[in-house]
Amino acid sequence: MNIKNFAMIGISHKILSMQEREEFIRQKPKVLLEELFQTGKIRAYVDLSTCLRVEFYMELLDNTRLEEIRERFPAQRGLQMKQGEEALLHLAKVVCGFFSVIKGEDQILSQMKHAYTKALEEKHSSKLFNIIFQKIITLGKKFRTKSNIAHHALSLEAITLHSIQERIPNVQEKKFSYWESESWPSLFSLF
């Protein structure tokens, strides 16, 4: 087990627009990773695909270079690569929500758990991955607990609801239809 063999390759909302991320997904990068796994170029991989990012964490074999994997990806623009400690630090920041639109949000932790569980079910894991992802998930939980981020409503939905409740007295008693043209101006004036 060598931490230098731990790597990440992927895209995110920080560099590419939603349309560009959708185009990347249409090129089926997971098929490429599965092919690399089946042909023995990588020992393990986790596919973390969300609306904001598509990142593949992988354990390279000693004779596989990350650059050679990058060259196999059809889309090169916006493709990020990290290896070793840099990839591990990136993963830690992702799981703690540092790169999320709402810093510290907890949805990414759930998505990370799901991605890792799926890798286990599909037998795409390894000893190194089991150690890394179990520790990373624990880190994400501890960060939220110790930083008290978990005790505040930080989801986009919660922030939006709070903002609406501040601006419209007794909003829970009001009824309106989004489709009524008169409602749109008042709805948009909230923001």
Q: Is the CB of residue 52 less than 8 Å from the CB of residue 100?
A: yes
> Residues 1, 15, 18, 51: which is the catalytic one?
51
Tell me whether residue 96 is one of the annotated catalytic residues: no
| Tokens (6 digits) for 4 | 């230098």
Q: Tokens 């709402």: give the residue.
A: 102
CA distance 12 to 110: 18
- Dihedral (Cα; 160, 166, 167, 168), 10-degree rounding: 100
| Tokens (6 digits) for 24 | 């990347």
Which residues have a catalytic role annotated? 51
